[in-house]
Amino acid sequence: MTSIKRPVEFLSQGVTVRGDLYLPARGEQPFPVVVMAGGWCYVKELVMPSYAQYFLEAGFAALIFDYRQFGASDGEPRQHIDPWAQIEDYKNAISFVQSLKEIDRDRVGIWGISYSGGHVLVVAATDPRVKCVVSNIPVVDGWNTMWRVHGSVGFRRLTAKLLEDRSQRSRTNDYGYLPMSGEGGQPELVTWPDPEVRSVFLKIKATDAPAHEHINTIASIENLLSYDVSPFPGRIFDTPTQMIVASGDDITMWDLEIATYHRIATTKKELYVIPGTSHMALYSSKTRLQIAGENAARWFSLHLRRVQ
């Protein structure tokens, strides 16, 4: 389906955040909308337009934005990930789309993947303007996730690096950086050691998302270790919530995700498990991405109907 795309910008806590607004080429305005942002070191061109096409085909507008400090958005230091600031960016994106004449302010859904899959659970629990949510292969417990992906010895090295960086930062106010991922099995310390992370992200960077930078501040990892969405699912009382899980996800950890799903309070929820699928397959496999995209579009279609 063809769509109308235009660049937009809005303020989030005084920082200019930029994104792309997609409107269906046909259909009656005002449109319901899905607000979308990405995970670790994403930019708006990275995989999210592929998911948005399913929402556009179902008659939804989509806003895809770069968090502050990433991509087209302003903010310093670059490549620094503060999950709670990103959650604020989501909320300010909702305020922005609600101001647009093309958008139905009473039919706002949110979608997230990986790190932002956790973010949208927090937003849904704390922002009553959200009427429907899809959480795709979410990060839900940063400390356990990092420990498990690095292993005991690797986690010791990572912790030592965090302490070294914090000490250095206190003296110089300069942020240290690590690669987002590496080749796997190498002595280089990286944030996400699984080798398929690097190969998939760099392939997407080469084809669709040249603004992606495959590094992050070391302080971003420290923030991740404090990230835990567990207080929030029990506060999602009445917002329809779908969680999409890859059965072979050993990056954001399928078992942690499913345990979080069971803590979601609303009865209007759905767990959709894609069998025989890894975390990165939902980026690299058109077939797996289609399954996730079509099921998310179905969920939004069920729960963002026009209010009569």
Average pLDDT taken over every residue of the chain: 96
Q: How many CB atoms lie within 10 A of CB 19?
A: 27
- Do 222 and 162 form a contact (C-beta atoms < 8 A)? yes
Domain 3-141+229-303, CATH 3.40.50.1970 — does that match?
Answer: no
CA distance 62 to 68: 19
For residues 160-188, b (16+ Cβ closer than 10 Å) or e, as one string?
ebbeebeeebeeeeebebbebbbeeeeee
Helix, strand, or coil (residue 105): strand
Q: Which pairing describes strands 103-113 and 130-136: parallel, antiparallel, or unpaired?
A: parallel
Reported confidence tier of residue 306, pLDDT bands at 50, 70, 90: low
- Structural domain boundaries of the chain? 3-141+229-303
Q: Are 200 and 283 in contact (CB under 8 A)?
A: yes
Q: Around Cβ 104, how many Cβ atoms within 10 Å?
A: 21
Percent of the chain with pLDDT over 90: 95
Between residues 181 and 305, the one the model is more confident about: 181
**pLDDT tens digit string along 75-89?**
999 999 999 999 999
Give the pTM: 0.96
The reply to whether omega before 77 is within 30° of 0 (cis) is yes
The closest of 50, 22, 54, 48 to 36, measured between CA atoms, is 48
**What are the E-state strand segments in the chain?**
3-12, 15-24, 31-37, 61-65, 103-113, 130-136, 177-179, 215-217, 241-246, 269-274
215 SS3 class: strand
Check pLDDT > 60 for residue 146: yes
pLDDT in tens, 152-167: 999 999 999 999 999 9
201-230 tens-digit pLDDT: 999 999 999 999 999 999 999 999 999 999
Alpha helices in 58-141 (DSSP H): 83-98, 115-126
At residue 2 the predicted structure's pLDDT band, cuts being 50, 70 and 90, is confident
Cis omega (within 30 of 0) for bond into 210: no
State yes or no: pLDDT of 1 exceeds 80. no
Return the pLDDT at 276.
94
